[in-house]
Amino acid sequence: MKNANAQNTDCIFLSKHVEFLHSKVFFQHYFVNMRDYLFSGQDDEPRKLRDSCVECPVCLEPYANEKKAVLLSCEHCICQECLRHLLKSETDYTCLCPICRRSIRVMSTQEHNKFINDKNVSNETFLKPSEINKIFNNSTMLIDSLTADCVELASSLIDLGANLDAQQNKGWTALMFAARGGHEQVARALLEKGASLKSKNRDGFTPLMLSAYKGHYLVAQALINAGARLDAKDRDGFTSLMLSAYKGHYLVAQALIDAGASLKSRTLKYANTALILATAKGHENVVKALLEAKASLKAKNKHGNTALMEAVLHGRGNVVNVLLEAGADPNKANAKGFFALMHAAQSGHVECVKALLEADAAVDAQLPSGYTALMYAAGLGHDECVRELLNANAKVDAAAKNGATALRFAIGKGYVEIAQLLRERSDTSHSIQQSV
């Protein structure tokens, strides 16, 4: 029974159906068995039981005119179909030779000819280096290799003359994949060969945008030095600087600023600038770099919010301090009449409340409805914010147009401690007024 099971296992492992290569489970099983198949277990010396230049070590089919071998730099071979599937397998072994597990790289023409002469084998068995890119539909293999992060294979294909600017069905080029993956050497090789810097994918991303979004400084710098357009926009209006500011990639943002990227560009939907995006996300270093470059503190987005208001809304206390020190006005209202202090009190961001009060924010500023920062803090149960506002002498008895006060808000929401605090402060203020 054991022998029968063993035979069945061998049959599965030795199956010639290449579609099994799409299965990660199969690939892992394959390489475990390949290790036992190749090594003797004594000195880890490779067994010469099968020659990879006679039959493919993956599908085990002999090479033929319609199924030629691709000669790798490690002097092992794999058939063209198995190599194609290997690059799409998405396993830990994608970029490795099936036999020696070294990084896959295609031989150059010189290396190929030397191998043929030294080994005295028939050249008809192998794809010539000049044929490889044609067989794999120009840059399809180059893009597949970069998608799989097979950097050495990509570099060898570039040297063999792959079509650098061919695009995938979503408009991606090899340079875009290199930029996204942070493959500096591949990106430089592509640039040296003349790869286009202007190509955009379906989402409007250029190679520079992709490197900026991912924070790959060295690739971004190479693209900038090569003359990439700094202020190109994607379909949402984001530039490379906006993307780096949004993601907090300081080095890339600084490189773009130094290169002269526009600080005034805005996104399409909400009209955010790079500074507003950086402040909303709390990226202090990027904010400082933008401020040093004289980014406008007065710029407002679609909601009428300045960078200071966005920082307050998101509770970025560290950034609020930086903006206030740079001269941001704490008493500017947005399109709905909200002041930064109201946003801070409403959201319960006590650090922002403190910073704004220290910068002389108007503690009793009112909305058109008459609501104040104290009313928001009291009605939403933010006791620490209430204390800070009271310490700044906020008016306890100020009433909105509907007659509501901070005390009524606190009582109505059941915030007993805040209501008690407001009553005590109200009684104290009345006693002072009477004594005067």
The residue ranges of every structural domain in the chain are: 1-162, 164-262, 356-436
pLDDT at 3: 53
Cα dist from 211 to 129, 221, 404, whole Å: 31, 9, 53
CATH code at 356-436: 1.25.40.20
Q: What is the pTM of this model?
A: 0.79
Q: For 52-66, what is the mean pLDDT?
A: 79
Range picked from 8-22, 140-154, 346-360 for highest mean pLDDT: 346-360
Among 54-58, 379-383, 401-405, the minimum mean pLDDT is found in: 54-58
With a cut of 60, say whether residue 41 has pLDDT above it.
Answer: no
pLDDT of 203-222, one tens digit each? 999 999 999 999 999 999 99
In this model, does residue 18 exceed pLDDT 60?
Answer: no
Task: Tell me the C-alpha distance between 365 and 348, whole Å.
Answer: 17
Instruction: Give just the sign of the alpha carbon dihedral 334, 338, 339, 340.
Output: negative
Residue 22, pLDDT > 70, answer no
Q: Which of 52-66, 256-270, 422-436 has the lowest mean pLDDT?
A: 422-436
- Which range (54-58, 309-313, 410-414) has the least confidence? 54-58
pLDDT at 267: 97
pLDDT at residue 366 in the model: 95
CA max distance for the chain: 112
- Average pLDDT of the chain is 84
27: confidence class by pLDDT, cuts 50, 70, 90: very low
Percentage of the chain surpassing pLDDT 90?
58
356-436 matches 164-262 in CATH topology: yes
Kindly state the average pLDDT of the residues 137-156: 76
What average pLDDT score do residues 224-236 get? 97
According to CATH, the topology of domain 164-262 is 1.25.40
32 has a pLDDT exceeding 60: no
Contacts of 196 (CB under 8 A, 6+ apart): 164, 165, 173, 175
More confident residue, 273 or 114: 273
